[in-house]
Amino acid sequence: MSVRNSGKCTRVPGTTPPQLRELRDALGMFATGVTIVTARPETSGPVGMTVNSFSSLSLDPPLVLWGVSKRARSFEFFVSALHWAVHVLSVEQEPLARRFATAGLDKFAGLPLAAGLGGVPLLDGCCARFECRAAAAHDAGDHVILVGAVERFRRDDGAALVFRGGKFAITVDSTQGGWQFDGAARQDNM
């Protein structure tokens, strides 16, 4: 396997730390939306984390997936959860994205919450929301891929928050000049 890096090709055999950094930077060129995934474990309060590995997977049956890091504090809770909800964030929700990417905070403090399927905490003000029943879990290196069957969803208007190159961004119509970045500091906790 190899990746192009500033015109030169970087091989990735044993991936020493410097190569990991370059690989991560290269992977970061792939722009994604930003989501918060929440769950309500039986043995703890609500859990949630900012996630950009979310992807649609199948329409029939309706399946989505995301990857949870084995280093996340909430890892065990998400892997054992029977239900979880994916919130596709709007540009106004960048502060929430930062909050839910910070381990050790009381992430839900002061937020208006509704209870979804399985008691999963639901956030307001998103572009879209998918309430899922856990369908499969696949071990994948330092992550586990969680597949969920969409049991309920909603879509609202609004511009979606984007993540690319370690920065939050907003999209503008390509006919109006391409990408705009907010100049935010690099996020190193992905």
Per CB under 6 A, 189 contacts ligand FMN:
yes
Give the nearer residue to ligand FMN in terms of CB position, either 10 or 137: 137
Question: Half-sphere exposure of residue 12, counting CA atoms within 13 Å on the CB side?
Answer: 15
Q: Least distance in Å: CB of 60 to ligand FMN? A: 25
The residue from 50, 90, 132, 146 that contacts ligand FMN (CB under 6 A) is 50
153's CB contacts (< 8 A; 6+ apart) are 128, 129, 130, 131
Q: Least distance in Å: CB of 152 to ligand FMN? A: 22
Find tokens 């391409």 and name the residue.
178
**DSSP assigned state of 9:** E
Site map (CB under 6 A) of ligand FMN, residues 68-107, x = contact: xx--xxx--------------------------xxx----
The residue from 67, 116, 118, 121 that contacts ligand FMN (CB under 6 A) is 67
Residues in contact with ligand FMN by the rule CB under 6 A: 34, 49-53, 66-69, 72-74, 101-103, 163, 187, 189-190
